[in-house]
Structure 1
Amino acid sequence: MKRVIDNLNPPTVLMLGFAVLILTGSVLLSLPVATESREGLSFLDALFTATSAICVTGLVVVDTGDTFSVFGELVILMLIQIGGLGFMTFSTLFLIIMKKRISLKERLLIKESFNFTDLSGVVKIARRVFMFTLIAETIGGIILAFRFSMDMPVGKAIYFGFFHAISNFNNAGFDLMGGFQSLTMYVDDPIVTITIGLLIILGGIGFIVIHELYEYRQTKRLSLHTKIVLTSTSILVVGATILIFLLEYHNAKTLGTLSPVGKWLGAFFQSVTPRTAGANTLPIADLTYPTLFLTIFLMFVGAGSGSTASGIKVTTLTVLLATLWAQLNGKEHVTLFKRKIVMETIVKAFTITMCGLLLVFTATFILSVTEKGFEFIVYLFEATSAFGTVGLSMGLTPELSPFGRVCIIVMMFIGRLGPLTIAFALTRNRKDDAFHYPKGNIMIG
């Protein structure tokens, strides 16, 4: 078995690893002990939930808090944690504890799972990722437990606090509030909104960014990648917050009845959660069409590379916009922060974006055929949410047919692993063609 695994390339090993974890989680969640009713879930519903958890999505066909027992919720939480950090992080930690040597193959897998560009220091970074995650989730859990203790018994508040801290740091969006209401009762609560919002952002900017920020005291420098992620994330969060505040200001079903501070808190959270988190403080189905369209855009973009998030990533969007700007201004080279962007990176960005668009369009078409009684924007919203492993829903997910559920399962799986596989395929050593065809000109535009 080990010889077979050694012959597989890193993307294949990661895909098989995630598939095995999903199947294992599906079996556990289908057990009678995993549900409050002790009747167990159907295997398809268990498969959907396990895929959503391991792909840190948050789309659910049954309400987590109402349906699952403590055992089932802990299984989901375990899948979220492994899915967010990657099973290679846990394997590496185990090898470090056992004082085993990390092989080149294992280093390549760590590199691939975090979407790093090189092998230097991957084990050190993986160890630091685990420690930072533990610290962030612990602090977030304590703050949320303190706030929830005002509304529920202390023991339950601690459990709820840490569950939601882990879920949202890993950009999963699973919640225990019941009734598919997510965090809507805390829309104007600054402690819950800001704490979970910051956890989502920290989990979404990417572990290489966190590592560089930690090292900044010694290095006094940030890479081009980190500068792009921090800048683009700030622009998207601030810009989306202002737009949502203006678009929903008079909507009585969302921000309309809130105080000025509550409006800003609601707008802020709604600008952060589409970055592949999935928790929501505003009822998604009641948002205006412009806000829904903006949310779809944010879900498609996602957050930073090498993070707990998916989507095409903010770096991809930035490279595409920089290329567009260079072309419109007649510039020969694409530059960002006084650095020239190589053509290979531009081609990667274009390829990943086109693959994402094709996947979303295909899933939207399939859902519009198999699911009846919803508006077109609902199908597009659901497909984009699955691709970006976001977890926001306009209410379609619980009503999906078996075929529709399979479609979303596949989208969540591809959305979590697809960009990594594409990136690896594009960076493999290429062999020069044995011969070259003559150049051909095509009229564009």
Structure 2
Amino acid sequence: MLPVSRNVPISWGDAVFTATSAVTVTGLVVFDVGTTMTWFGQAVIMALIQLGGLGLMTFAVLVLAALGMPLGITGQVFLREDLNHNTLHHLTRLVAVILRVVVVCELAGALFLSLTFVPRLGLVEGAWAALFHSISAFNNAGFSTFGDGLVGYATDPVVNLVIPALFIIGGIGYVVLQDVMGPRPARAWTLHTKVMLLGTGILIPWSVACFAVLEWNNPGTLGQFDSAGAKLVVSWFQGVTTRTAGFNTTDIGAIHDSTAMLFISLMLVGGGPASTAGGIKVTTFVVMLLATIAFFRRQTQLHAFGRSIGLEQVLKVMALTAISVLVIFTAVFLMTASHDGHFLDIAFEVSSAFGTVGLSRGFTGEINDFGRAVIILVMFLGRVGPLTLGFFLATRSVPRLRYPEATIHLG
């Protein structure tokens, strides 16, 4: 809200919504960031994106390490939960890996994007846009200083290679990156890494192919391009960005309803744990599918890649899915009750907020104050995670009594 941060007046509601969207790396906006905010204001947004992408505990570890102060056992426990790590060992090493990956990827991304932005915008403005979009992409934020997003760069080869590379690396998870960058061969990677890479390797081609098939002849999206190559390039970008990043090289408001439903499902799945992505996470989705398959096969044990998955992990998946569905349905109900006649737009907006994606069908600017409060809460829950709040508020208790087992008829 400082005068040095903005070119035109904005309300406190606009400021709170934008700050929440930035620190939760969502990317939903109620005004044009490039024209409304000065470079200082954009730098504030960029700093919030970086803090939200790293995670508060990771950022705190980096600060304490720079000051030479010990983390302590309590801090290590919180960091373990923040990074979804099962043990306290090697946490500091993982944070060091995170720092190296962040610095190298964001600087390299800014350098490569300058090849496109500098010739068009000039040296200073182009370099600034390259840095802003590099940080926004790696942290899966989806913020852009351009009013129409990246529509003007829909077929630009640099943008279509660098931006997806940044948000895929940022959204796959630091634990996976540590495994892949380590000295161990692929067969020795952890089960988490293998499941995450398998799920990502399936979802990316699926989303790209589905977008191409559904939108190929839509004059508002792919139909405006004459060549099949241009359509495939746009399909590639829009397919991979949907699960978490939130950038757009085509008009999201012009997509078919069937494509909007596809996007909703992809946004709810999201990226990887201990990453800059949101959603219920790819590993949760994969374990849920494996548990369903195991049930129909009458298997008593869940396993993948020669390793078993414990009951506690399956229960965690069930709890996360149930809470996520409850949060989304409640938010959609509240938004529908306060905004009549926009059901698909509302469902799309809520899913985008919960998955911290940032895509919108042009409905963000029409949301009233009550709706903004709902979306802010959903963005917060989507970034922090409903299970994180549950574990923080709940206390572990050991049952003193065991009851006889009974049967409940299900299905």
State the TM-score, normalizing by the size of structure 1. 0.89
Query: Counterpart of 2:378?
Result: 411
Residue of structure 2 in register with 1:166 after alignment: 135
Q: Deviations over 1:240-293 (max 9, x none)?
A: 111111111111111123222211121111122122211111211111122111
Match of 2:321 among 350, 353, 358: 353
**Is residue 2:216 matched to residue 1:245?**
no
Q: Which moved more, 1:165-174 or 1:57-66?
A: 57-66
Any idea what SS the aligned residue of 2:277 has? coil
User: Is 1:372 paired with 2:343?
Assistant: no
CA deviations over 1:380-424 (Å, ceiling 9, x no partner): 101111111110001111111000000100100111112451574
Looking at structure 2, the residues matched to 216 and 281 of structure 1 have their Cα atoms a distance apart, in angstroms, of 38
**Superposed, which structure 2 residues align to 1:4-403 within 5 Å?**
30-37=1-8, 39=9, 41-178=10-147, 181-217=148-184, 221-258=188-225, 259-374=227-342, 376-403=343-370
**C-alpha displacement at 1:193, in angstroms?**
1.4
Residue pair 2:49, 2:141 contacting (<8 A) in 1 also: yes
Q: Are 1:436 and 2:407 counterparts?
A: no
**Given residue 35 of structure 1, which amino acid in structure 2 is its aligned partner?**
R
Distance 1:214 1:78, change over 3 A: same
8 Å CA contact 1:203, 1:309 repeated in 2: yes
Aligned to 1:12: none
Point out 4+ residue stretches in structure 1 off by more than 3 angstroms.
216-220, 422-430
Q: CA RMSD in A?
A: 1.7
- Say whether the 8 Å CA contact 1:172–1:278 is kept in structure 2: yes
Write the distance in 1 (CA, Å) between the matches of 2:389 and 2:72.
24
- 1:113–1:273: structure 2 CA closer, same or farther, 3 Å change rule? same
SS at match of 2:405: coil
Indicate the SS of the match to 2:222. Answer: coil
Secondary structure at 1:395's aligned position in 2? coil
Question: Partner of 1:275: helix, strand, or coil?
Answer: coil
CA distance in 2, matches of 1:428, 1:120: 24
Deviation at 1:336, TM superposition (A): 1.2
Q: 1:430 to 1:271 in 2, by over 3 A?
A: farther
Residues 113 and 134 of structure 2 are in contact (CA less than 8 Å); yes or no, is this contact kept in structure 1?
yes
For 2:409, give the aligned amino acid.
M
**SS of the counterpart of 2:271?**
coil
Q: Following the alignment from structure 2 to structure 1, what is the Cα–Cα distance between the partners of residues 81 and 360? A: 30
What corresponds to 1:26 in structure 2? none
CA contact (8 A) 2:139 2:167 kept: yes
Shift of 1:36: 0.8
Q: Are 1:55 and 1:80, in contact at CA under 8 Å, matched by a contact in 2?
A: yes
Q: Taking structure 1 as reference, are residues 322 and 425 closer, same or farther at Cα in structure 2, changes over 3 Å only?
A: farther
Deviation at 1:441, TM superposition (A): 1.6
Q: Give the direction of change, closer, same or farther, for the CA distance of 1:367–1:46 in structure 2 (3 Å limit).
A: same
Task: Give the share of equivalent positions with the same residue, in percent.
Answer: 40
Contact 2:320 2:387 in 1 (8 A): no
* Cα distance per residue 1:116-174 (max 9 Å; x no partner): 22111111110110111000001110111111122111111100001000001000000
1:219 Cα deviation after fit: 8.6
Paired letter, 1:122: L
- Distance in 1 between residues matched to 2:309 and 2:57, nearest whole Å: 30
Relative distance call for 1:109 and 1:434 in structure 2 (3 A) is: closer
SS of the residue 1:335 aligns to: strand
The one-letter code matched in structure 2 to 1:381 is F
Shift of 1:342: 0.9
Shift, 1:216, TM fit: 3.4
Counterpart amino acid of residue 331 in structure 1: Q
| 1:333 and 1:340 in contact (8 A); partners too | yes
Counterpart of 2:180 in structure 1: which amino acid?
L
AA of the residue aligned to 2:230: G
CA contact (8 A) 2:345 2:361 kept: yes
TM-score (normalizing by structure 2): 0.96
- Which amino acid in structure 1 is aligned with residue 136 of structure 2? S
Q: What CA deviation, in whole Å up to 9, does each residue of 1:316-357 have, x standing for no partner? A: 000010011111122222111121111111110011011111
- Contact in 2 for aligned 1:386/1:408 (Cα 8 Å): yes
Amino acid at match of 1:440: A
